Amino acid sequence: MMEHTRIKKLLLSEEYGKEVIVKGWVRTFRNNQFIAINDGSSIHNIQAVIDFTNTPEDILKRITTGAAVRVKGQLVESMGKGQRVEVKATEVAIIGDSHPEKYPLQPKKHSLEFLREIAHLRFRTTTFNAIFKVRNALAFAVHKFFNERDFVYMHTPIITGSDAEGAGEMFRVTTLDLNHIPRTKDGQIDFKEDFFGKSTNLTVSGQLEGELAALAFGNIYTFGPTFRAENSNTTRHLAEFWMIEPEMAFYEIEDNMDLAEALLKYVIKYALETCPEEIEFLKTRLLDEEKSKPQNERSELNLVEKLNFVLDHDFERVTYTNAIEILKRSKPNQKKQFKYLIEEWGADLQSEHERYLVEKHFKKPVILTDYPREIKSFYMKQNAPDAEGRQTVKAMDILFPGIGEMVGGSQREENLDKLLARMDEVGIPAEEMEWFLDTRRFGSVPHSGFGVGFERLVLFTTGMTNIRDVIPFPRTPNNAEF
């Protein structure tokens, strides 16, 4: 039996006259003659031209948008505009019917909001074909980057008894009967009766476990799902998302910044090289979308220019202290145009501040370093107090145009006494973290790491504006469909 050929391959073929078989889904059927077929291999369709006078009427009626078909015929040069080849059909068979009135994806423009409601079908649209091809390329490039540098890919646990960020916004994992919850004598939930014999949650980060592996293998990375029970309905937040988290022994903060910058440039360059048609399509989509915005709200750069903007510039490295001075003196701050005004050192920077630094002041990606200790996590390496006695840590965030924070990382505190003191300050019981503290007791070394929110990276690379559109099945408050 002759195998079917993927449409992507046929669109590049010059084997005119060759008999081929195409299998795919009908996008449109015009004039009882022209079938636009897509099999997912390309954002482009191939046209099959049928002889409707010699095609059974019952078959013609079943060639509807969404139906799956098998077409056999000759590959020929196309006379039509916008296509180089087409299939002159000799046989048409219906593999799977699609009710013409009930199929939601009719040949017209659908809003992204509508497509989120039918996320199980939105993969069939050109937009989402392009988005998830780019997502695939970025994911592959992440693994390629680290493998070329001899990193070990480490699978860290999804279910954990620790909270790496101290955030408290975690999903609890339990097998307890919620109608008959066991209690201790003092009325607390008795987790000894639970499956793991203790309170457990879905992970917010693989970092702490990654540190254990880095202090044996040297360089490791994790790339997996993480979870935050944050009741936030914004275009930038998900309850389930993917994180890239490398950890490196013998790396100090400068090494950490170098690696993070190299990773981001590598994966974006890979996407540009391997998904040129998809990115060009997304560029055009974004330009069309921006036409409805006021001129002052439109991006100064198109999508390809924005991606090259990252590749063509060394990232600006600036301390938090210097950034605060820049923001305090900025026009938006002085004219009270920022939603969150910068008044003093110690402020937690918001997305509007981060984007101002990248897009208006430096006009390049920015790496912010040396944040106040009080607004960062317990495990970060502490700097000596500055001239004014202010306490900072060796943290670094990478800021991107249109996104704000793309990467968060730090040099980790390797000194046991300092780490214990900091844990005590923020109320993390040392006895629950003995396994983590052992890495500081037995052969401790300077080490560093960072995390990249993968969906934010996909958001930036595709030019989409809502994070729910760059993950296959978004998990958000009141939404866990499929």
Helix axes 434-441, 416-426, angle to 10 degrees: 150
Would you mind telling me the total number of residues written for the chain in this entry?
482
Contacts of 346 (CB under 8 A, 6+ apart): 372, 374, 375
- Give me the number of domains the chain comprises: 3
Q: Does the pLDDT of residue 423 top 90, yes or no?
A: yes
Same domain, 54 and 188: no
Same domain, 134 and 184: no
Q: Does the pLDDT of residue 322 top 70, yes or no?
A: yes
Looking at residue 162, its pLDDT comes to: 76
Contacts of 431 (CB under 8 A, 6+ apart): none
Closest CA to 240 of 190, 271, 279, 203: 203
Q: What's the domain range around 193?
A: 170-203
Which pair of tokens denotes residue 166? 């101290």
Quick one: pLDDT band at residue 171, thresholds 50, 70, 90? very high
Q: Is 271 left (phi over 0), alpha (psi -120 to 50) or beta?
A: alpha
Helix axes 276-290, 303-312, angle to 10 degrees: 120
Same domain, 289 and 390: yes
Alpha carbon 169 to its chain centroid, in Å, reads: 20
Same domain, 153 and 70: no
Which pair of tokens denotes residue 478? 């009141």
Q: Which residue has the tokens 């091809």?
A: 133
For strand 152-153 and strand 219-227, is the pairing parallel, antiparallel, or unpaired? parallel
* Residue-wise pLDDT tens digits, 241-266: 999 999 999 999 999 999 999 999 99
* Residue-wise pLDDT tens digits, 29-61: 999 999 999 999 999 999 999 999 999 999 999
Q: Provide mean pLDDT across the span 377-383.
A: 94
Closest CA to 378 of 418, 347, 345, 349: 418
CATH number at residue 81: 2.40.50.140
Same domain, 176 and 266: no
Each residue of 422-456: b (16+ CB within 10 Å) or e? bbeeeebeeeebeebbebbeeebebbbbbbbbbbb
Q: Does the pLDDT of residue 140 top 90, yes or no?
A: yes
Quick one: pLDDT band at residue 290, thresholds 50, 70, 90? confident
Looking at residue 131, its pLDDT comes to: 98
Q: Which of 22-26, 67-71, 161-165, 339-343 is least confident?
A: 161-165
In a domain, 424, yes or no: yes
Same domain, 199 and 211: no
Closest CA to 259 of 448, 393, 400, 403: 448
Which of 203, 228, 255 is a domain's end point? 203
In a domain, 148, yes or no: yes
Same domain, 90 and 27: yes
Looking at residue 482, its pLDDT comes to: 84
Q: Provide mean pLDDT across the span 187-212.
A: 94
Same domain, 137 and 66: no
SS3 content of the chain, % helix, strand, coil (to 5): 35, 25, 40
In a domain, 478, yes or no: no
Same domain, 179 and 224: no
Phi and psi at 280, nearest 5°, equal -65, -40
Looking at residue 301, its pLDDT comes to: 86
pTM here is: 0.94
Same domain, 307 and 230: yes
* Residue-wise pLDDT tens digits, 267-281: 999 999 999 999 999
In a domain, 114, yes or no: no
Which pair of tokens denotes residue 447? 């080490």
In a domain, 446, yes or no: yes
Cβ–Cβ under 8 Å, residues 340 and 353? yes
Quick one: pLDDT band at residue 481, thresholds 50, 70, 90? confident
Same domain, 198 and 216: no
Residue type, 388: E
Contacts of 177 (CB under 8 A, 6+ apart): none
How far lies 268's CA from each of 23, 340, 403, 421, in Å? 32, 32, 15, 40
Cβ-in-10-Å burial (0-12, 13-18, 19+) of 357 comes to buried
In a domain, 188, yes or no: yes
Cβ–Cβ under 8 Å, residues 329 and 357? no
Looking at residue 403, its pLDDT comes to: 87
Quick one: pLDDT band at residue 79, thresholds 50, 70, 90? confident
Q: Does the pLDDT of residue 299 top 70, yes or no?
A: yes
Edge-first strand order for the sheet with 200-202 is 159-160, 200-202, 172-173
Q: Tell me the pLDDT of the chain averaged across its residues.
A: 94
Contacts of 83 (CB under 8 A, 6+ apart): 46, 47
Q: What angle do CA 210, 216, 220 make, to 5 degrees?
A: 40
Same domain, 334 and 185: no
Closest CA to 302 of 289, 285, 283: 283
Which pair of tokens denotes residue 153? 């890919």
